[in-house]
Amino acid sequence: MMIVAKGLEALGIACVMIGLVQGIQSESMWMELYLSIIGIVLFLIGWGTEKWVARRNRATDKPAAPH
């Protein structure tokens, strides 16, 4: 699940970067806006999934019993 989260984060960053390049090269800002919004949403979904997985793993890890 962590791989999926990291993949979504990377895809989100890629969408934002493509939107930036598209905005520099094109007259229309709509595609830049759409790609930026999609990239931000994908990144946030990946980030939230990563935090959720880390929290779930931390909750299932039992501390070592003292001897």
Q: Would you say residue 67 has pLDDT above 80? A: no
Question: Tokens 């493509």 correspond to what residue?
Answer: 18
How does pLDDT run across 21-57, given as a tens digit for each residue? 998 998 888 999 999 999 999 999 999 999 999 998 8
pLDDT tier at 63 (50, 70, 90 boundaries)? low
Coarse DSSP helix, strand, coil percentages of the chain, rounded to the nearest 5 percent: 80, 0, 20
pLDDT score for 29: 87
Model confidence pTM above 0.75: yes
Sequence-distant (≥ 6) Cβ neighbours of residue 56 within 8 angstroms: none
